[in-house]
Chain A
Amino acid sequence: MDKSLQSEGKSFNVQQMIESNKKKTSIGEKIERIIPTLLFLCAAVSVVTTVGILFTFLRESIGFFSDVSIIDFYTGSQWSPWSGEFGVAPLIGGTLLITLIATIVAVPLGLMSAIFLSEYASDKARRVIKPVLEVLAGIPTVVYGYFALTFVTPMFQFFLPDLGIFNALSGGFVVGIMILPMVASLSEDAMNSVPNALREAAYGLGSTKLEVVVKVVLPAAFSGIVASIVLAISRAIGETMIVTIAAGATPNLTLNPTESIQTMTAFIVQAATGDTSFGSTIYYSLYAVGMTLFVFTLVMNLIAQYISRKFREEY
């Protein structure tokens, strides 16, 4: 080793400096002890949020159910809060009708897209089409609402001249378009994770691609596909702006998609934007309806999680 290096070595000693810096580290030690607590508090925020949601619903709903009996709320079939009728069935019915229409649109289209992307499309095509399809999922719902009201409804009116401006059909249809990429993308992921060996075994027996898809890929990816559909349905149930803008504000217990309806979410928006005074029965009804909505989506999400957890165990 050269001499200059050795002389430098004598000029200072790193370990000694580290030693002398030790005194300062008592502050460092304090930081070291405080940080985990601080970070835990951050993580606790999400728990507090959940508790806050439950607290909100319980507190305000209790206020509501002291004015309106819980039995009337869930069994009544008239929803006209401004004249004191609080039967939630029409709102639930409206939500389910929208969800049904959206599912009828999104599930077949989404599944077929997923099959096309996963089994038929070239790698290159898939890498282009999938992200473009996912753009649909990133479009703000207020834009979809605008699209439903100003384009889809007039388009449907061309075929159904009697169709009103506000109707469940175009609302539900556009909600379906919105959740389509969710079904397509998650199902495609599930199909993609089916091992190729399974496919090859079927091809080896002389199957066509379609037969491989129907008899091998779909059954193997079944739980992943179901989970994606359940998640998409949950999104449809909670969707607000599209139905507020396009499906109307007429609480209406009907299966007729051409009628104007009102969903739970749309009512919440209507009541929040209207002249609803704090502490009135209508104000509290927001929360009773919100809690019902929350329970619907929570159950859906738990089902989806349960299915996809089982699914993960399979491979």
Chain B
Amino acid sequence: MSEVMVKKKNNTVNKASKREENSFGLQKEKANHIIEVNDLNLWYGSDQALYEVNMDVPEKQVTAIIGPSGCGKSTFLKTLNRMVEMVPVVKTSGSIKYRDQEIFNRKYKQEYLRTKVGMVFQKPNPFPKSVYDNVAYGPRIHGIKKKEILDQIVEKSLKGAAIWDELKDRLHENAYGLSGGQQQRVCIARALAVEPDVILMDEPTSALDPISTAKVEELVQELKEKYSIIIVTHNMQQAARISDKTAFFLNGELIEFADTDHLFQNPQDKRTEDYITGRFG
């Protein structure tokens, strides 16, 4: 709690541009940028979707990405684990470094990247298998077959996703029978099972009811102790509630990236201000 207070102070003092700000008050995080994005451009065929994005994602914090729909925030998120390349016409330029390694490097394997940078999707998307098989999916495809170990991983992951108590007696039921909120937390558990470094969340609560949303938000707060989280949200209140830093995207450009309190209370850019005060959206 006190740390947050300190941050707040720093933020209010510092009104310099976003790049300088990073080096000003938050030196500790500066040393620990888990993902560094430099001059990222992205095209769907001939339509450019991202323009010269520069952004350093801090480790073990929650980074929120906000912006009106179509602003490129989901595209940006999916670029971070190269899921965006599932669309065949996508082209990129620039650099993304995960722990100082260039992920666009030809020798760098997508599969390896994705075990480190996990993802939770907009709509809960469990496989039509049992809860157990869903969570064990990741470890299994990476060659972990021993039942005792898988048992432990499943338990640990479900506990990590705060759903163990609800589901410990229903591990072998089909995940399709669960409620939407439960499904989404199983999907989070599934992402946790390979113990990734970073978890990307693409509007994870947009398909959920308010109670489930609250549970997921609470979970995000717990998870940041061990994981770096980047969360896309269309809900500004949510970004303000759960994130440490917030990035505002508009028309494929990163307009502003700052500590969350700072960005909401003291936006540097007119467009950010217009957006968070609800003048468009």
Contact = CB atoms under 8 A, between A and B. Distances in A.
A5 B152 CA distance: 10
A8 B195 CA distance: 13
A12 B152 contact: yes
A75 interface: no
Nearest to A21: B143
Contacts of B193: 14
A11 B159 CA distance: 16
Q: How large is the interface on A (under 10, 10 to 19, 20 to 34, 35 or more residues)?
A: 10 to 19
A11 B152 CA distance: 10
Contacts, number: 42
Interface string A6-19: 00110111110110
B254 to A, nearest CB: 30
Interface in B52-93: none
Contacts of A21: 142-144
Contacts of B225: 1
B153 interface: yes
Given A1-B222, A8-B156, A15 B115 contact: yes
Interface in B147-196: 149, 152-153, 155-156, 159-160, 193-195
A55 to B, nearest CB: 36
Contacts of A12: 149, 152
B153 A14 contact: yes
A189 B165 CA distance: 51
Contacts of B153: 14
Interface residues of B, number: 18
B139 interface: yes
A14 B160 contact: no
A24 interface: yes
Given A1-B222, A21-B142, A25-B143, A15 B195 contact: yes
Interface in B209-261: 222, 225
Interface in A1-55: 1-2, 5, 8-9, 11-15, 17-18, 21, 24-25
Contacts of A18: 115, 139, 142-144, 194
B194 A15 contact: yes
Interface in B117-166: 139, 142-144, 149, 152-153, 155-156, 159-160
Nearest to B159: A5
Contact of B156 (A5, A17, A24): A5
- Name the prevailing secondary structure of the A interface residues: helix
A295 B116 CA distance: 58
A284 to B, nearest CB: 49
Nearest to B146: A17
Contact of A13 (B143, B160, B195): B195
A227 B193 CA distance: 54
A21 B149 CA distance: 14
Contacts of B156: 5, 8-9
A25 B194 CA distance: 16
A15 to B, nearest CB: 5
B218 to A, nearest CB: 13
A18 B116 CA distance: 11
A14 B195 contact: yes
Contacts of A11: 152
Given A13-B195, A18-B194, A8 B152 contact: yes
Contacts of A25: 143
Interface string B14-48: 00000000000000000000000000000000000
B160 A17 contact: no
A25 B115 CA distance: 14
Given A5-B156, A14-B194, A24 B115 contact: no
A17 B152 contact: no
Contacts of B160: 1, 5
B177 to A, nearest CB: 26
Nearest to B152: A8
Contact of B144 (A1, A2, A5, A17): A17
Contacts of A2: 159
B132 to A, nearest CB: 16
Contacts of B142: 17-18, 21
A27 to B, nearest CB: 10
A303 B144 CA distance: 55
B144 A14 contact: yes
Contacts of A17: 139, 142-144, 149
A7 to B, nearest CB: 11
B229 to A, nearest CB: 16
B69 to A, nearest CB: 28
Nearest to B197: A15
Given A1-B225, A17-B142, 7 more contacts: A1-B159, A11-B152, A14-B144, A15-B115, A18-B115, A18-B144, A21-B143
19 contacts: A1-B159, A2-B159, A5-B156, A8-B152, A8-B156, A11-B152, A12-B152, A13-B195, A14-B139, A14-B194, A14-B195, A15-B115, A15-B116, A15-B194, A18-B139, A18-B142, A18-B144, A18-B194, A21-B144
Interface of A: 1-2, 5, 8-9, 11-15, 17-18, 21, 24-25
